[in-house]
Amino acid sequence: MNLFGDSDYLEKLSLKGDPLERLEKVVDFECFRPTLNRIFKYDLKNKSHGGRPPYDLVLMLKILILQRLYNLSDDAMEYQMIDRISFRRFLKIDDKVPDAKTIWNFRNQLSKSNRGNWLFSAFQEKLESQGMIAHKGQIVDATFIEAPKQRNPKDENELIKSQDYPEAVILHSDQGSQYTSLEYEELLKYYGMTHSFSRRGYPYHNASLESWHGHLKREWVYQFKYKNFEEAYQSIFWYIEAFYNSKRIHQSLGYLTPNQFEKVSA
């Protein structure tokens, strides 16, 4: 196997629209390296000098992501890395392909760290921030599509543009360990966000947002069983824009809707 010798095939794959090549362009997988380094620091530091050197951590994470997207077992993943040139290009590997046992060990160590789900969630958020959604499927039909775009009436678009939102984004949370962890802070820094905290033992800054989440769940989400992300996105977007902001009155706003209150307060 030699990727350089397969340049004609790679070019044809690109012309056909290789979804993994597109994924590589929109997701910076290196942003996960600091977290992976901390998770596997103990094992790498104490690894004996004998035997095969460990595979790159980002490479192994990308393998697990491919497994999830294409519904592949460890043995099937090993086979597909040998068989599919698109997989090898995405993973940047040539002759040395991690075997099924190596994949299993990596997943097992990641699971023990309790950071596996966090990493996969961060990958999904990164993908969605680029306006894309991953459709899981079999080996022939896993795809990446554009996320549904918001389409507002012209007058609402003008209103949004006139609000002059600041470029900086502030994310507010309490001081729970999940929000003060190094992984969380690094992710915020990566996205250019500023972190704001409530005072210790003072949860009232979060009360209004928690109230909003309660209304959303009780009045809307709990009525449905969503089949996929797109269906949930469209449904919740409709509730927020077509009902909550424009029709639902609030006692705390003087029995005005959020949109009406925003206009009179401008």
Once rounded to an integer, what is the mean pLDDT over residues 129-139? 59
Single pTM value for the model: 0.50
- Strands 132-135 vs 193-197: parallel, antiparallel or unpaired: unpaired
Once rounded to an integer, what is the mean pLDDT over residues 220-224? 86
Distance of CA 253 to the CA centre of its chain: 35
Give the number of other CB atoms < 10 A from CB of residue 195.
14
Does residue 258 have a pLDDT over 80?
Answer: yes
Going by pLDDT thresholds of 50, 70 and 90, the confidence category of residue 60 is very high
Distance of CA 103 to the CA centre of its chain: 22
Once rounded to an integer, what is the mean pLDDT over residues 43-62? 66
Q: What is the pLDDT of residue 187?
A: 82
> Quick one: DSSP state of residue 76?
H
Does residue 173 have a pLDDT over 50?
Answer: yes
Contact 123, 64 (CB under 8 A): no
Mean pLDDT of all residues in the chain? 76
Helix, strand, or coil (residue 173): strand
Helix axes 74-83, 57-70, angle to 10 degrees: 100
Contact 249, 255 (CB under 8 A): yes
Lowest-confidence pick of 3-17, 42-56, 93-107: 42-56
Rounded CA separation 168/190 (Å): 13
Once rounded to an integer, what is the mean pLDDT over residues 239-254? 85
Going by pLDDT thresholds of 50, 70 and 90, the confidence category of residue 199 is confident
Q: Among 85, 86, 98, which residue's Cα sits nearest to residue 2?
A: 85
